[in-house]
Structure 1
Amino acid sequence: MAKHLVLVAGNIGAGKTTLTERIGARLGWWTGYESVTDNPYLSDFYGDMHAWSFHLQVFFLGHRADQYLEASRDSRSAILDRSIYEDAHIFARALHHMGNLGERDYLAYRRLFEVVVNGLPRPDLLIYLKAPVPVLMDRIRKRARNMETGITPDYLSLLDSFYSEWLGAFDLCPVLTIQTGDLDFAHHPDHLDLVVQRIQDKLAGKEVMDLTQK
């Protein structure tokens, strides 16, 4: 079987980690996850975003680049929870937009980002998980992570607008959009079956419609 690199993208609470876990287990793929518990900057960042935004973004850049290279060395196909491209086009942009990442640091980060990504393997598929902001807020509240207590609907809406702009110009690989508001691939095997089939068909080069309903 051909080896593939698949990225899972989407707003906070869209279901990226759950889908990555389920696809990895179902298909036997190598899985990579966002560094949260072992991230040395997160607590400082949430205490003072203006002071620590640049440090956090540089850490994530290096962490994700290492993931891509590790995935490329593994003989299995790989699926990654969040893409390196979102760090720059969504989150660093949002920090800059909100005044937490100054112009000088933002431009320095973007230059470093371009150098790093130019040396990474191109993905074979980007899976974009999308859900309405009220659904995202409900999921965030239910999982009750301390670091997410300050997330607001306005912030999620801002990220959502950045996702739309980014994906409108994204051309590195095919994109499969999955509306997750009515999907529960964690508890309904038939929902996961449907997603897996769409992914496999997309990787095979077939014409596949975005998944907008159960």
Structure 2
Amino acid sequence: MHIAIAGNIGSGKTTLAGLLGRHYGWDIHYEDVEDNPYLADFYNDMRRWSFNLQVYFLKSRFSQIVKIREGNTSVIQDRTIYEDSVIFAANLFDMGLMSPRDYENYTGLFNLMSSLIAPPDLLIYLRASVPTLVRQIEMRGREYESSIRLDYLRRLNERYEGWIKNYRESNLLIVDVDNNDFIKDRSNLSAVIDKVDSKINGLF
């Protein structure tokens, strides 16, 4: 079984992946952030490093999915390959931070990779307002994220909502992070687990 968590920067994907992975005994596939050689450069100069960053994430995510499909264990994945293209690369292109040539090249690569994989069995989308995202980004204190602009987060949120509204590829669970602080409140985490249980039981 392949479960994936989607959501904007700071929505709590990594934390929830760890909590659910430990609760259910699933293998956890985290997003490659700490070892990403482009991330800090990207936040300092988005136009220069946007294509490099997105190709790195695409390669990393595709590699994860190949391993997931080759294995025989249940896995929870921190962010999906679809977000890389539909949310982040598209947003960078629309903001003029990725050139048409690079975007066309990237999109062709994504379309090729996505044609070779299957969507997750369950997608958990973490919906969070910009103030919640900012608070949680500040809490984790990653230096390279200190320069993230509010309008950038707002644009990403708008794209996430549009994507989720039309998502039909697999089973979907939406978690309202503004009203479910599963990081600090165990009762909220239990409520999320109950919803995940219901969705998982519906898969079989």
TM-score bracket, normalised by the shorter chain, equals over 0.9
2:171 equivalent to 1:174: yes
- What is the aligned partner in structure 2 of residue 141 from structure 1? 138
TM-fit CA distance, 1:83: 0.7
Task: Please state if 1:110 is matched with 2:111.
Answer: no
Match of 1:28 in 2: 25
Cα deviation, 1:63-92, whole Å, max 9, x if unaligned, reads 001111112233221111111100001110
Aligned equivalents of 1:106, 1:20: Cα separation in 2: 30
CA contact (8 A) 2:21 2:28 kept: yes
For 1:100, the aligned partner's letter is L
Counterpart CA distance in 2 for 1:201 and 1:24 is: 16
SS of 1:203's partner is: helix
| 1:70 maps to which of 46, 49, 67 | 67
Q: Give a deviation string over 1:34-67, Cα, whole Å, max 9, x none.
A: 1112112223323332222111111111100111
| Alignment match of 1:18 (pick from 9, 15, 20) | 15
Number of the residue aligned with 1:212? none
| Structure 1 match to 2:55 | 58
Name the SS of the counterpart of 1:68 in structure 2. helix
Deviation, structure 1 residue 192: 1.8
186, 189, 199: which one aligns with 1:192: 189
Structure 1, residues 8-35: CA drift from partner, whole Å, max 9, x if none? 0011111111100000000000111111
CA separation in 2, counterparts of 1:73 and 1:134?
A: 39
Shifted more, 18-27 versus 177-186: the winner is 177-186
State which of 79, 84, 87 in structure 2 corresponds to 1:90: 87
Q: Is structure 2 residue 6 aligned with structure 1 residue 9?
A: yes
Instruction: Judge conservation of contact 1:134–1:153 (CA < 8 Å) in 2.
Output: no
Q: Give the residue type in structure 2 aligned to 1:34.
A: E
User: How many angstroms apart in 1 are the aligned matches of 2:46 and 2:98?
Assistant: 8
Is the partner of 1:181 in helix, strand or coil?
helix
Structure 1 pair 44–133 and aligned structure 2 pair: CA distance change class (3 A): closer
Task: List gaps (5 residues or longer) in structure 1.
Answer: 207-214
Higher mean alpha-carbon deviation, 9-18 vs 67-76, is at 67-76
TM normalised by structure 1 equals 0.89
Residue 153 of structure 1: CA displacement? Answer: 2.1
Q: Any stretches of 5+ residues in structure 2 without a counterpart?
A: none
Q: Is the 8 A contact 1:22 1:186 kept in 2?
A: no
The 1-side partners of 2:154 and 2:33 are apart by 23
1:130 aligns with 2:132: no
* One-letter amino acid of the counterpart of residue 189, structure 1: R
Q: Alignment RMSD, CA only? A: 1.5
CA contact (8 A) 2:43 2:148 kept: no
TM-score, normalised relative to structure 2? 0.93
Q: Decide which structure has greater helix share.
A: 2
Matched residue of 2:178: which SS?
Answer: coil
Deviation at 1:145, TM superposition (A): 1.1
